[in-house]
Amino acid sequence: MGWIAVSVVALMTAVVTTVGSTVPHCFADNNSNPSRSFNTDLSGISDFGFDLYRELSSKGTAKNFFFSPYSIWTALTLSYLGSAGNTKTQLEASLRVTGKTSTLRLWRALETMYAQRAASNPQYTFNMANRVYFDNILHLRPCITNILHKELHIVDFSDVHGTSTSINEFVSSTTKGRIPELVTPDDMVDALMVLVNAAYFKGTWRYQFKPSSTTTQSFFVSSSNSVDVPMMKLKTNLRLAQSTELGAQILELPYAGDVISMLLLLPDVEGEAGFSNMVSALSGGSLSRVTSGWSSQRVLVELLLPKFKLEKTLKNELKEGLINLGIRDLFNSSLADLTDFVEENHLSVSKTIHKAFVEVSEEGTEAAAATALIAYTRSSFSKAYQLVHKFHCNRPFVFIIHDNQAKNVLFMGAYKSPPRDSRKISGGWRN
């Protein structure tokens, strides 16, 4: 059985730090085990991701989009652990977290859960890793040294080539070479801190598409504009729902092992209005009401899904999107407060970069993501459909790579307009 490349994501967030002065304290009992228990409701992470998607995708309504909200959330959570004052308050509100101790437990518990799964489930791969790079001139808080001892790396940022190489090697290793370069030596000039998250997913479809069934068909960008694309076809029993809350049909396309699935959301009303209304209604709660209400009974579905490859790079628009979500002081050189990281109050975030890649084909999905934060000196569900239903993704749709057990949105995107080279896509991913 072959594998299929569905998604590869790279995220880079550069955070620049400048001046601000509170007296921080250790927020967790270092003798406790942060992963012993955690709130299993991850809808807040999903809400953050959907809000950020709406901010970022609104910049170009007719364009495709793909990113990893979980990777961005994880990197920002690292910055939250070192924040204080209004910076901390704003991060709490936007990230939907309440208190550093409980957030650290959640963060560690998710890390442990995914590591245990990786060791016990050979049917798919999901790896995630974090690193925090501090310049050797900084005076770190002892509690941060203890709490982040696994992630902590002390480096000499004046060696811009050596430091950028180290970061890129970590990211490339975690993403299996899908993201070979996240930062450049120029990004390291005057940097004092870099927070990095990298994630990688690879899985085969539980129900394989036959390459011989893939044909050239029309994808309708709008009622008056269509593009020929390689369209995959699958006829099998799948879970299908109609959500009046979202104004959409939702189809589950599981990966082998049934732990992670791709959710396909197709708006009931064709055109930009129907798509926008569906996206506006997306939330952790609305998605959970669909997935929690899945019937155990599957129905026969004829699925048409484009075979596609997308790439996305976000720079200033990611920073602007986060500011619009209320994370303002973190990016303000006069107001940022990261003094729970270091004694010096001169760190702030000034640069963000996000890179994303996704490829969908007959065999499965491969996805990777990396997020870096660089700090510089300041200067409702209804019944299932009838027995047979056609679910044709031949018009704009949203796709989500969803952790069914943790109810966590790992990656998400929108396919709205086939890329120019969409007809050239062939074969599966590399081994």
User: Are 400 and 40 contacting, i.e. CB atoms less than 8 angstroms apart?
Assistant: no
pLDDT of residue 124: 86
CA atoms lying within 13 Å on the CB side of residue 211: 11
Q: Which amino acid is at 416?
A: K
User: Would strands 388-392 and 364-376 be described as parallel, antiparallel, or unpaired?
Assistant: unpaired
Instruction: Identify the CA nearest to 378 among candidates 414, 335, 318, 417.
Output: 335
Phi first, then psi: what are they for 54, rounded to 5°? -60, -40
Instruction: Identify the CA nearest to 407 among candidates 75, 70, 73, 33.
Output: 70
CA distances from 323 to 340, 374, 415, 427 (A): 21, 16, 26, 41
- In tens, the pLDDT along 239-290 reads 999 999 999 999 999 999 899 999 999 999 999 999 999 999 999 999 999 9
User: E strands, 146-259, where?
Assistant: 152-155, 191-204, 215-222, 225-243, 248-254
Report whether pLDDT(383) > 60.
no
Angle 268-366-177 (CA atoms, 0-180°, nearest 5)?
145
Report whether pLDDT(12) > 70.
no
Taken as a whole, the chain contains a residue count of 431
For 105, the token pair is 């437990």
pLDDT of residue 62: 57
Confidence at 294, pLDDT banded by 50, 70, 90: confident
**Residue that wins the pLDDT comparison between 198 and 41:** 198
Report whether pLDDT(30) > 50.
no
Q: Cα(129)–Cα(369) distance, rounded to whole angstroms?
A: 10
Q: Which amino acid is at 58?
A: S
User: Are 404 and 291 contacting, i.e. CB atoms less than 8 angstroms apart?
Assistant: yes
Q: How many CB atoms lie within 10 A of CB 431?
A: 5
- In tens, the pLDDT along 187-220 reads 888 888 888 888 888 888 999 999 999 999 999 9
- Does an H or E element contain 135, and which? strand 124-135
Q: Cα(357)–Cα(7) distance, rounded to whole angstroms?
A: 6
Instruction: Identify the CA nearest to 49 among candidates 285, 284, 356.
Output: 284
pLDDT of residue 3: 36
User: Are 187 and 18 contacting, i.e. CB atoms less than 8 angstroms apart?
Assistant: no
For 333, the token pair is 């050189």
User: Are 66 and 358 contacting, i.e. CB atoms less than 8 angstroms apart?
Assistant: yes
Rounded average pLDDT over 70-88:
92
Rounded average pLDDT over 91-107:
93
Confidence at 421, pLDDT banded by 50, 70, 90: low
Domains and CATH numbers, the chain: 8-204+309-376 (3.30.497.10), 211-307+382-424 (2.30.39.10)
Confidence at 395, pLDDT banded by 50, 70, 90: very high
**Residue that wins the pLDDT comparison between 205 and 63:** 205
DSSP state of 177: T
Report whether pLDDT(353) > 80.
no
Task: Give the predicted TM-score (pTM) of the model.
Answer: 0.86
Q: Cα(345)–Cα(359) distance, rounded to whole angstroms?
A: 43
pLDDT of residue 386: 45
Report whether pLDDT(109) > 80.
yes
% residues pLDDT > 90 (the chain): 47
